[in-house]
Amino acid sequence: MTIAIRPETPADHAAIYDITKRAFAPMPYSDGDEQDLIDRLRNASALAISLVAEQDGAVVGQVTFTEAFAADGSDGWYALGPVAVEPELQSRKIGAQLIEAGIALLCERGAAGCVLVGNPAYYGRFGFKPFPELCPKGEPTESFQILPLGVAGPSAVISFHPLFHSDQQ
């Protein structure tokens, strides 16, 4: 099956919500809020990049990138996530295609790098490396990773968009 990766359109919003909810539901690390987080980010115009994977005219996956904030004021940092693929279609490299397309767009934008919280066993294949010393307060240090993309590597704590923590305020 051919997969097309493209930016989201308003017609995709309901499918993104549905896939994200069902993909995260069985995950022990899910807080059950990922689908609503994407909507909150979109409503705040904070979706820096949202790509969908389309197969036979249907959305089967989505990846979100938002702006991230370095404590030293350096620009060009982004965060990856949530990312989700239709449960029945997982492990067919759809997630990999979404992530690689997003990283390519970050490179085109001249990004300094990308951070995320996730399993290093998965994200290591895209070049993400653990950076526990630069993990923002409140995030799991063992899962915090950075993909450096610029000439200057990361040297300060890099925080996620405040909406990632709006449920804790």
Contacts with ligand COA by CB under 6 A lie at 23-24, 27, 83-85, 90-96, 118-119, 121-122
Q: Which residues pair with 146 in a beta bridge?
A: 115, 129
Nearer to ligand COA, 17 or 122 (CB): 122
Residue 159 sits at φ, ψ, to 5 deg, of: -105, 155
Crossing angle (nearest 10°) for helices 34-43 and 13-24: 150
Q: Which is nearer to ligand COA, 24 or 77 (CB)?
A: 24
- Residue number, 140 or 162, with CB nearest to ligand COA: 140
Q: How far is the CB of 145 from ligand COA (least distance, A)?
A: 10
Q: How far apart are CA 60 and CA 3, in angstroms?
A: 9
State the residue number with the nearest CB to ligand COA. 95
Tell the smallest beta-carbon distance from residue 127 to ligand COA (Å).
14
**Smallest distance, Å, CB 85 to ligand COA?**
4
Angle at 14 between CA 13 and CA 17, to 5 degrees: 85
As to burial, measured by CB atoms within 10 angstroms (0-12 exposed, 13-18 middle, 19+ buried), residue 39 is middle
CB of 151 to ligand COA, least distance (A): 28
